[in-house]
């Protein structure tokens, strides 16, 4: 693999400045690697080579004339299938959408990336409707984890996780409704951020779903964040511009109150190896002077059925919008799970909404006792590539540590902090609303404290796929 592709974005900018490479050369290296590795991992939903070449040529011309636009100018990135971009397909992971026309509008994340001069090389895979936390799709098939091709990438930003971990692109923008950027980051050893609602504009506006950046390092993540967090009036919840001047400074833990969340009070139990990784992060924070407290179980009764029914309604609504003769093309794991929503009344939907809001307030109040909370991203160290989750009956059921922060609108990052049997194990860092920069700064401190350098699986042998069928 071309060594350029293992560098950080800052190192690439320096190489541009020294004349050692150009955006066009970097794109060529990226596309060559993509052609070799993507048939194995199946991360790319669409490759826009002509559009990427035009963007890379424009960035090269700006570089030569001293008119570079900023930190991402000329940097290859990807966006998730769910993000509209002019001239690229929007299919939402669903085979029934395979013939939809190309998008004619740039959603806010795509618009901001283009304004910054980033080179969007294409779109990444996702499961049907984004309603599974796994890399399985009726349209795209199975997306595989480059750390181990028999393992899942998580989802729903599945292809984003696999592509970045394998060295395709330097950043990706996904979307997160129950953990969908944090979960692939946890499975694939990456860094990701689910922002405060409205901090990163997206369409259609949502009180639950956010666009979120994913990268291999916190500094690369910050580069993406600084671009896609710029306001956009098309998102009702879009927040005003924020100054990011001090965002790269690590946040010293001394004196911080840190909660350690290891038991949600429901859902899959946290495995011993995942607990060990979270506790190692807690020990590092404590050694640096933080006041670290293990939290009691968050919930006394299982709050998930109400949230699961809201997710079912969302999936069923999209399923019903598909032409009747194409509905059978939706992945059964999603379609069958959402079937129950057809029997729910409006009153039941209202009761479930109220119940979720009560649960949301419980978790907000408990986390408010701390400056930050750390937790697992996933209760276990992943699952098989063909599986749709830990429980097929609840394809989002294992998102217990991530989903509630979509409801509270709090910023939450994911960071690899250890390994188990050679697979990455991620931790989640949660802060109060609007403290996105503080979450990123503490995540950067933890990255520096974890005591190892990432050795990315960027050279998976293509012939290994044969053994997997």
Indicate which residue of 7, 80, 194, 444 is catalytic.
80
Rounded CA-CA distance 51/54 in Å is 5
* DSSP secondary structure letters along 125-159: ---GGG-SSSSEETTTEE-EETTEEEEE--SSSHH
- Classify residue 255 as exposed, middle or buried by CB count within 10 Å of its CB (0-12, 13-18, 19+): exposed
Dihedrals phi, psi of 424, to nearest 5 degrees: -65, 150
Q: Which residue out of 180, 238, 375, 400 is catalytically annotated? A: 180
Helices (H) and strands (E) in the chain, counts: 13, 15
Is the separation of the CB atoms in 406 and 209 below 8 Å?
yes
Which candidate in 138, 156, 175, 413 is catalytic?
156
400 catalytic per annotation: no
Cis geometry, peptide bond prior to residue 204 (ω within 30 degrees of 0): yes
The answer to whether residues 186 and 194 touch, using CB atoms and an 8 Å cutoff, is: no
- Cα–Cα distance between 377 and 427 in angstroms, integer? 5
Q: Is the peptide bond before 156 cis (omega within 30 degrees of 0)?
A: yes
Cβ atoms 79, 69 nearer than 8 A: no
| Residues pairing with 416 in the sheet | 426
Residue 187, C-beta contacts closer than 8 angstroms, at least 6 positions apart: 145, 151, 152, 153, 154, 161, 378, 382, 424, 426
What is d(CA 104, CA 349) in angstroms, rounded to the nearest whole number? 34
Whether the Cβ atoms of residue 406 and residue 431 lie closer than 8 Å to each other: no
Tokens of 198: 């409205």
At 45, which helix (H) or strand (E)?
strand 44-47
Closest CA to 155 of 179, 139, 171: 179
Determine the Cα–Cα distance for residues 221 and 434; give it in Å rounded to an integer.
Answer: 17
Alpha carbons 136 and 388: distance in angstroms, whole number: 7
Indicate the pairing of strand 191-194 with strand 412-420.
Answer: antiparallel
Is 80 one of the annotated active-site residues of the chain? yes
DSSP state string for 383-407: -BTT-SSS-TT-TTTT-TTTTHHHH
Phi-psi region at 68: left, alpha or beta (left = phi > 0; alpha = psi -120 to 50): beta
Nearest to 195 by CA among 440, 32, 412: 412
Query: Which residues are tagged catalytic?
Result: 80, 156, 180
């Amino acid at each position: 693999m071309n060594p350029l592709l293992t560098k950080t974005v800052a190192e690439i900018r320096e190489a541009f400045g020294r004349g050692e490479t150009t955006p066009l050369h970097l794109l060529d290296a990226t596309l060559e690697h993509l052609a070799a590795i993507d048939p194995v991992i199946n991360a790319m939903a669409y490759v826009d080579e002509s559009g990427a070449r035009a963007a890379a040529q424009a960035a090269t011309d700006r570089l030569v004339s001293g008119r570079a636009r900023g930190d991402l100018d000329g940097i290859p990135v990807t966006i998730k299938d769910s993000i509209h971009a002019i001239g690229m397909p929007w299919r939402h992971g669903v085979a029934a959408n395979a013939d939809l026309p190309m998008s004619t509008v740039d959603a806010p994340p795509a618009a901001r990336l283009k304004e910054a001069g980033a080179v969007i090389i294409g779109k990444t895979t996702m499961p049907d409707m984004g309603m599974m936390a796994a890399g399985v799709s009726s349209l795209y098939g199975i997306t595989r984890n480059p750390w181990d091709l028999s393992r899942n990438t998580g989802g729903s930003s599945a292809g984003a996780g696999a592509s970045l971990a394998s060295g395709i692109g330097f950043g990706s923008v996904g979307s997160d409704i129950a953990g969908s950027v944090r979960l692939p980051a946890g499975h694939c050893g990456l860094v990701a951020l689910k922002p405060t609602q409205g901090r990163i504009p997206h369409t259609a506006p949502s009180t639950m779903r956010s666009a979120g950046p994913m990268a291999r390092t916190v500094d690369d993540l910050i580069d993406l964040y600084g671009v896609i967090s710029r306001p956009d009036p098309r998102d009702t919840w879009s927040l005003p511009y924020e100054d990011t001047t001090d965002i790269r400074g690590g946040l010293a833990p001394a004196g911080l109150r840190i909660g350690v969340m290891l038991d949600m009070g429901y859902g899959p139990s946290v495995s011993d190896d995942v607990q060990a990784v979270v506790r190692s992060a807690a020990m590092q924070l404590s050694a640096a002077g933080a006041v670290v407290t293990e939290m009691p179980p968050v919930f006394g009764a299982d709050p998930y059925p109400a949230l699961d029914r809201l997710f079912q309604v969302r999936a069923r609504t999209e399923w019903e919008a598909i032409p009747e003769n194409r509905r059978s093309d939706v992945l059964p794991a999603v379609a069958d799970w959402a079937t129950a929503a057809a029997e729910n009344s409006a009153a039941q939907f209202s009761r479930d909404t109220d119940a979720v809001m009560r649960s949301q307030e419980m978790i907000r109040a408990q986390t408010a006792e701390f400056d930050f909370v750390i937790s697992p991203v996933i209760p276990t160290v992943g699952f098989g590539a063909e599986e749709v989750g830990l429980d097929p009956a609840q394809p989002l059921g294992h998102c217990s540590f991530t989903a509630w922060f979509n409801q509270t609108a709090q910023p939450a990052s994911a960071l690899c902090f250890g390994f188990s049997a050679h697979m990455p194990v991620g931790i989640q860092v949660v802060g109060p609303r609007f403290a996105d920069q503080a979450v990123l700064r503490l995540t950067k401190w933890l990255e520096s404290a974890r005591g190892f350098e990432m050795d990315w699986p960027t050279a998976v042998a293509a012939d290994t796929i044969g053994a997997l069928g």
